[in-house]
Amino acid sequence: MALVAVGQLTSTASMANNLRQCQLLVKKAVKAGARALFLPEASDYIASSGEETIKMAKSAQESEFLVGLQEEARREKLPIHVGVHEPGQDSRRVKNTVLWIDERGEIAQRYQKIHLFDVDIKNGPVLKESNSVEPGGQILPPFNTPLGKVASTICFDLRFPEISLALKRQGADIITFPSAFTVPTGKAHWEILLRARAIETQSYVIAAAQVGRHNEKRVSYGHSMIIDPWGTVLADLGGNDGEPEIATAEIDFELLKKIRREMPLARRTDVYPAV
């Protein structure tokens, strides 16, 4: 068994304030006895435009947010999984990435979001992430942690089961979905998709989410969740913004093995290709 914490906050264009929010979540996770903290997509900042998003991006070495969070991980000996922006290959776009910061404060893994959020919702938001974000080009294999093998995806990747199935096939015990879902899409699809990914991969799902109003243009749904391999919601932080909060749940390795042993999902790769 291993206790994990999932965090929820409202990032703005102030990296200093976002760091303070995350530092508070670290303190709460440590007090709860968690062995790792999972934070949302874009924890470092959410800007009001694509131009501002690009302008604010800093490398890992130059980001006061990331350096500060690494110091927290090192001081508390607490691994932190966090979504941030990093400069892209050229000056026109940034990378949307999620990092695993280990208990020494080192960046041990980095995943770049593959599927970008380009939507035009009737009576809702119009968001074209591809205008300012460059897509990643690969699914990274799960990596070893004190919690078992952790696999990273980001937000809109949730809608594509192929990624999760590929990660399960590579041995994932936990699949993460750090996110900033809009309110309309969150109400309609968030919990359904997360539970589906947990059930079809027989894995734990940890989904840290942004919540509340970031600026005059953007509001996030919240409802950070931890879900077990049977699809049971173990923790749900709800949709109210305010003070940053955590929820905790146990990763039960015996339950993971039991579900996979008693209901093996043997794919018919002789009929359809392996993912």
Given a contact cutoff of 8 angstroms between Cβ atoms, the answer to whether 98 and 109 are in contact is: no
- Out of 28, 95, 113, 168, the active site residue is 113
- Out of 22, 28, 41, 134, the active site residue is 41
Identify which of 80, 93, 98 has the alpha carbon closest to the alpha carbon of residue 41: 98
Question: d(Cα 45, Cα 17) in Å, to the nearest integer?
Answer: 9
Q: Is 134 among the residues known to form the active site? A: no
Judged on CB neighbours under 10 Å (0-12, 13-18, 19+), 242 is exposed
Question: d(Cα 85, Cα 61) in Å, to the nearest integer?
Answer: 13
Structure tokens at 201: 């991969």
117: Cβ contacts below 8 Å, ≥ 6 apart: 127, 129, 155, 156
- Out of 22, 58, 86, 155, the active site residue is 155
Question: d(Cα 244, Cα 30) in Å, to the nearest integer?
Answer: 14
Phi, psi of 228 (to 5 degrees): -90, 175
Q: Is 31 among the residues known to form the active site? A: no
Question: How is residue 122 annotated by DSSP?
Answer: T
Q: Is 41 among the residues known to form the active site? A: yes
What Cα–Cα distance (Å) separates residue 112 from each residue in 18, 41, 77, 90, 142? Answer: 21, 11, 25, 15, 14
Catalytic positions: 41, 113, 155
